[in-house]
Structure 1
Amino acid sequence: MSFEQLRLIEPVLKALEHEGYSTPTPIQQQAIPFVLDKKDLLGCAQTGTGKTAAFAIPLLQLMHEDQQASRKGPRNIKALILTPTRELAIQIQESFTAYGRFLDLKSLVIFGGVSQHPQTEALKRGVDILIATPGRLLDLISQNYITLRDIKYFILDEADRMLDMGFVHDVKRVIIKLPEQRQTLFFSATMPPEIQTLANAILRNPAKVEVTPVSSTAETITQSMYFVNKNDKRNLLLHILKDKAIRTALVFTRTKHGADKVVKDLNKAEITAEAIHGNKSQNARQRALSNFKSQQTRVLVATDIAARGIDIDELTHVINYELPNVPETYVHRIGRTGRAGAKGMAISFCEGEEKPFLKDILKLIARDIPLVTEHPFHNGDNLSAPVQRPAAPKPKQQHPRDKKGGFSRNRQGHVAPREHKGNGGSNGNSSGNGQPRHGQQRGHQQRERSASK
């Protein structure tokens, strides 16, 4: 299917051609027709599937048609896109600018952490489309710089992350201020009960589109696992980054302090690195992200909340310096690479205390991760203590298991959780991530030891 087949108008098609896009992703194929038919939409899709374009493209077209049908007057905010983080808000605004370059529609992004004056001045000049984070939006509403009475289109993006970050109450305060007659588009990577309840409350007979369940990882991503002592992680990271084929690497830590420490170690070893996390100013975060995108900085070290919404062309490597304690976060992290059919590599470090996190990850993704042992810092001994899985009915037929630990190693040298009946192979899902991009993964090659179960 091509974008032409989605009933898009010429100015939008011209903008997409200018961006080099010709084929819509699965979520775009499903969502765009529903949005153009002015239906409410419930979209279950994670970052990297092209969901921003799935709502931005048809929304621009609808607003252009509204504009053509009405007499020209002052610009009032007609569309509100609410998103959890500043980085994601900025990237959404960049998408609206790109796809709407041949339309007479003005968009503005507002977020906290910076002076509100430039934002309020832009609001005074008139805005059609407002992209906002909840806190700054409510601040400016309370100061009477913004009214939502003319909103015709409302998009709530990354609703589950709103919940994770404690923004659901603010989101509800915004929704109360919206006109009842509107078109609402609701996107979330996962649907926990509170988010499902919120969706049911604000959507009217919605169409539902769903792509790439959160438990799946893209087939274009080569995953590998390194068992290492906690004190050797620094040296292992430096060892891996000796490979000059790793042009860019996004490194994840669980804490802000950990991110700063990794950056300090890398810079000391003359590897350019910067960190983004909640303690950094907005200007510092944007500068670090810009330097990374332009490859002035080779390594960007991030915490999970700060990295939400990061969209970087041709990112070759994601490195989990510390495994996340929420298994779905692993899928989100490694999904930053291997996008739109391009190849990528996800490298993860696991020390003894992270065994339970690895067990949960393997259970979620339902596939093996190759274990790399041929490196100077391999230590499997600290993972030999038993790991207890939740109790489950005993299968009729048991396969031999590694009695010493909670992980079995198959004949290909992969790490896998102890399996109960029904667990195991790859789900075979592919994300269809994002828009077409060029670039090939240049991997850090390591030999893998074979071990039998």
Structure 2
Amino acid sequence: MKGTLITATQTVSPASPSTAATTFASLGVPAPILRALAADGKTDAFPIQQDTLPDTLAGRDVLGRGKTGSGKTLAFSIPMVARLGESAGRGARRPRSPRGLILAPTRELATQIEAVLSPLAAAYGMKTTTIFGGVSANRQITALKAGVDIVVACPGRLEDLLQQRALTLDAIEVTVLDEADHMADLGFLPGVTRLLQKTPPKGQRLFFSATLDNGVDKLVRRFLHNEVLHSVDDPTSHVSAMTHHVFQVDRDEKKQLIEKLSSGTGRRILFTRTKHQAKRLARQLTGQGIPAVDLHGDLNQSQRNRNLASFGGGDVRVLVATDVAARGVHVDSVELVVHVDPPAEHKAYLHRSGRTARAGSAGDVVTVMLPEERRDTQVLLRKAAVKVTPVTVTAESSEVSDLVGPEAPYVEPQPRAPQQQQPARQRPQGQGGGNGGGRRRRGGSPSGRTGQAAPSGQPRRGGQGGRSASGRSRSDRF
């Protein structure tokens, strides 16, 4: 972290670990929120929540840092709802004038934040909505016109609607910047700055992230006042329940290794560097009897939602994704993350890996490395503060079999259906690599068409596949 950020911020060290759980009630969380949390089985606070809630509930500006999966979403949702809930029901809601704003870098993250936030807001009769690109703006404009209390938005579409005068930020009382380090990089920083400028300077502002670097210090100096930094762990600290592995493999054995790593019965996310790789690998796995869905910037929002729902709902157990899923995609019980290629930089490694071992669960992370990638991978892991000894393997090595565990049953791929609802400007997707033969020992669903849930009544454990369709979005960021 840059020195200017530390010297400009009052730092509060995390409390010493205690064997006794800290409840939300003991932290002063209001009763309506306590009831909503208890209905979801949440009574005890995680460390990032324990540390930040006393200050955020008191109205302080807070800079919160906690590792991925540490519970940051609740840490900022609770104080936002508590503050706005005090005046809810007294004529506070006005058309086009939300009182709470949460900025997030991706559509998936915005959707998941809203899913956590909305039950808490409903406890006070408040309304929430999401604003992001890739979908028609009409629904969003209609919701704003009717009046909402809290908006969860990606910067691009939010700026578009502000220019159309579909809303104003003049009444914002609490502003949250989630994934602050990513929102402060060169791609987002100008837009985020413009948006924060439109919020009242006396409002409460909360910045949260797994790391606090890039241009965060610029935003802190400009927009936070008498802020407190709560850092519950080191920027490169790791979840204790997360186990890291590096498998070195020869190039001609890599495809078989990836197939083997995908073949278990639990959920797993495979990260690729490019959208083309993600699409191709999802088709290949499905063709090998391992139904998979993809997630990347070439899918429109309905396709993203459908594929995530198939994965999160258990219909499909393998998600092949680009870095669009590295931040904000939370699915319970992801047991394995696979870096199909070593990521370009260490922060990508940390964020990708953070999709497993979340909220107290255990998980494994595998980096697949070719011999010529060994030196760069070792540098990457050193920067990420991960100590692991590479192991040379093949798909049949005991180290791989022990990690994968029982394999799910093989599922016969079905012929790919013709592309439907495809944008007219896009050329039809090629058929290569999708439905080849292969070893009939993998499992999943009775559907070999990536992205479409299989018929009901099939065994849930094996997963179910679906059809892959391509669409175009303006940007992964908006």
- One-letter code of the match for 2:74? A
Aligned to 2:237: 216
Structure 1 position 367, deviation (Å):
4.1
CA gap 1:262/1:148 in 2 versus in 1, 3 angstroms: same
Counterpart residue identity of residue 349, structure 1: V
For the pair 1:329 / 2:289, whether they are aligned, the reply is: no
Three-state SS of the structure 2 residue aligned to 1:148 is coil
Residues 266, 177 of structure 1: alpha-carbon distance in 2 compared, 3 angstrom cutoff: same
Structure 2 equivalent of residue 351 of structure 1: 370
Separation in 1, partners of 2:311, 2:134: 21
Aligned AA (1:240): L
The aligned runs of 1:45-444 (5 Å cut-off) are: 45-67=66-88, 70-71=90-91, 74=94, 76-164=97-185, 166-242=187-263, 244=264, 246-373=265-392, 375-376=394-395, 443-444=403-404
CA distance in structure 2 between the aligned counterparts of 1:308 and 1:239, rounded to whole angstroms: 26
Which deviates the most, 84-93 or 323-332? Answer: 323-332
SS across alignment from 2:73: helix
Question: Partner residue of 1:18?
Answer: 39
> Aligned equivalents of 1:222 and 1:201: distance in 2?
39
Alignment CA distance shift 1:328-1:169 (3 Å): same
SS in 1 for 2:294: strand
SS of alignment partner, residue 171 of structure 2:
coil
- Flag the 1:292–1:338 CA change in 2: closer, same or farther, 3 A: same
Query: Quick one: structure 1 residues 366 and 194, their matched pair in 2 at CA, closer, same or farther if it must change by over 3 Å?
Result: closer
Query: Quick one: distance in 1 between partners of 2:293 and 2:251?
Result: 22
| TM-score, L = length of structure 1 | 0.80
- Distance in structure 1 (CA, Å) of the matches to 2:314 and 2:129: 27
Structure 1 residues 183-192 or 258-267, which shifts more? 183-192
Q: Is the 8 A contact 1:79 1:130 kept in 2?
A: yes
Identity, % of aligned positions: 36
- Once the two structures are overlaid, the 10-residue window that deviates more, 207-216 or 21-30, is 207-216
Q: What SS does structure 2 have at the residue aligned with 1:224?
A: strand
Aligned residue for 2:368, secondary structure, equals strand
Distance in 1 (alpha carbons) for counterparts of 2:60 and 2:249? 51
1:306-352 CA-partner distances (Å, limit 9, x unpaired)? 43200011111111111101112111111111122211111220113
Q: Residues 67 and 237 of structure 2 are in contact (CA less than 8 Å); yes or no, is this contact kept in structure 1?
A: no
Q: TM-score, normalised by structure 2?
A: 0.76
Q: Deviation per CA, 1:194-216: give whole Å up to 9, x if none.
A: 22122111100101111233312
Q: Is the 8 A contact 1:15 1:100 kept in 2?
A: no
Name the CA shift for 1:444/1:202 in 2 (closer, same or farther; >3 Å). same
CA contact (8 A) 1:278 1:306 kept: no
Q: Is the contact made by 2:271 and 2:321 (CA closer than 8 Å) also made in structure 1?
A: yes
Segments of 5+ residues of structure 1 without an aligned counterpart are: 379-412, 414-441, 447-453
Q: How far does residue 292 in structure 1 lie from its aligned partner after superposition? A: 0.2
Paired with 1:283 and 1:9, the residues of 2 have a C-alpha distance of 36
Aligned residue pairs total 381
Contact kept in structure 2, 1:27 and 1:54, CA below 8 Å: yes
Q: Secondary structure of the equivalent of 1:226?
A: strand
Aligned to 2:467: none
For 2:99 and 2:330, the matched residues in 1 are separated by 26
Take 1:44 and 1:168, find their aligned partners in 2: how far apart are those partners? 19
Query: Structure 1 residues 228 and 165, CA, compared in 2 at 3 Å: closer, same or farther?
Result: farther
